[in-house]
Amino acid sequence: MHDFLVSFGKWLEATPWGTFTRTTLWGYPFVQLTHFSGLSLWLGTNIAVDLRLLGVGRKRETAMQLSDSLFAWNWAGFAIAVLGGFPLFSANATTYLANPAFQLKLGILVPLALIWHIVVQRKTREWGKTETTPSIAKLAGLFEFVLWICVVTAAVEIPNH
Amino acid sequence: MLNFCEWLEHTALISTIAGTGWMYATFSVAHYFSLFVLVGTIVFIDLRVLGVAARSQRIATVAEQLFPWTWTALGLALFSGFVMFATDAGDYYPDRIFRIKMTVILLALVFAILVRRNISKWDQAPSTSAGAKMVALVSLLLWVGAILAGVEIAAISGLG
């Protein structure tokens, strides 16, 4: 498994997009821009629904209405984040794969937060019909909120390891 | 001003934050997280004004639901950003890219206020005017520009 990951990482670094991101002056910041812009849309819309489930903020829409109206751009944001994140990772793949903060982020936290997000998004159609949400919905929203903070924390820690 | 920045950077509190790994990381996490919420919510409102998001909801409904979170996130992003600036103020202050970033953010905030002030007018119009869409588009592009300037501070100036 380890050997496979190392050779996979080496292959990624040699791909045109990996090389482009690593070696050109504008490549790296451009790819970072894509990653962060996508994340803004993705996390901004995720956190909005989590807060609405928690009952924090204005109650102009129900959680269900809010979640439905954000849905398309929520996933567009995710796609843009991946579009930027993949070449970012490819540029220095072997280094990232050996980094414990990155391993924690992409190996555990992101899959967990992503699965949780999908569950919460589906459940919101049921929990979010009324102005006040049930306790279980508040707990689920809070948990997703905390999970994404953990993801950002792991990401911030990558350069320190 | 540069003297003030040098003084700020060397105050006991800021030196402690700069020199303590978990403290600086906490402000970084707060900054990234709040800027994502800030940019994500405001860009979504811009997209709604542009007519490409949440068309089944009224402009005012979307804006009134999201704007309070935008302003809260803005406050947190400004506060955490100021602390991060302070830890290396002497180098950030004269930096060209940093100054561009601050200018772009200032313009983006002017446009955010412009959007906020016109929401009820745009909401009542039978169809969104070209002028309203232009304001929303500029707002959206300014936030993307702010992120670009942010990543260029590291890429060109090597700060942060």
- How much is the pLDDT for A144? 98
Q: What band does B160 get if pLDDT is binned at 50, 70 and 90?
A: confident
Q: Give CA–CA dist B6/A160, Å, rounded.
A: 26
What B101-110 contacts at long range (C-beta under 8 Å, 24+ apart), as own/partner pairs, is B101/B146, B101/B149, B101/B150, B101/B152, B101/B153, B104/B142, B104/B145, B104/B146, B104/B149, B105/B146, B107/B142, B108/B139, B108/B142, B108/B143, B108/B145, B108/B146, B109/B74
End-to-end, the C-alpha distance of chain A in Å comes to: 22
Neighbours of A136 (CB within 10 A): 11
Q: What are phi and psi of B50, to 5 degrees?
A: -70, -15
pLDDT of residue B40: 98
Task: Provide the token pair at A39.
Answer: 């994340």
Is the separation of the CB atoms in A74 and A113 below 8 Å? no
For chain A, 161 residues long, the average pLDDT of each consecutive 10-residue run is 91 96 93 98 98 96 97 98 97 96 97 98 95 96 98 96 89
> What is the per-residue pLDDT across B6-57, written as a single tens digit (0 to 9) for each?
999 999 999 999 999 999 999 999 999 999 999 999 999 999 999 999 999 9
Residue A25: CB atoms within 10 A of its CB come to 9
Q: Which of A58, A66, A69 sits opposite B56 (nearest CB)?
A: A69
Mutate to test the interface with A, among B29, B36, B56, B143 (most CBs of A within 10 A): B36
Q: How many domains does chain B have?
A: 1
CB contact under 8 A, B57 and A37: no
Stated pTM of the model: 0.95
DSSP designation for A133: P
Q: What is the pLDDT of residues B43-102, one digit of tens each?
A: 999 999 999 999 999 999 999 999 999 999 999 999 999 999 999 999 999 999 999 999
Q: Search chain B and give the residue with CA nearest A155.
A: B29
Q: Residues with Cβ < 8 Å from B138, sequence gap 6 or more? A: B111
Q: What are phi and psi of A98, to 5 degrees?
A: -90, -5
Instruction: Using the Cα atoms of residue B52, residue B56, residue B60 and residue B65 in order, give the sign of their dihedral.
Output: negative
B64 touches chain A (CB under 8 A): yes
What is the distance between the alpha carbons of residues A151 and A129, in angstroms, rounded to a whole number?
Answer: 29
**Two structure tokens written together for A20:** 């482009």
Position B137 confidence tier, pLDDT thresholds 50, 70, 90: very high
Quick check: B36 and A48 CB within 8 A? no
Residues of A in contact with B66 (CB under 8 A): 48
Domain interval for residue B106: 2-157
C-beta atoms of B44 and A44 within 8 A: yes
Q: How many helices (H) and strands (E) does chain A have?
A: 8, 0
Cβ neighbour number for residue A26 with a 10 Å cutoff: 12
A44:B38 CB<8 A: yes
Q: Which of B20, B32, B45, B43 is nearest to B141 (CA)?
A: B43
Is B65 at the interface with chain A, CB within 8 A? yes
Whole-number Å distance between alpha carbons of B29 and B138 = 28
User: Is B28 within 8 Å of chain A by CB?
Assistant: yes
DSSP A158: G
Cβ-contact B37, A77 below 8 angstroms: no
Query: What is residue A1's predicted lDDT score, i.e. its pLDDT?
Result: 76
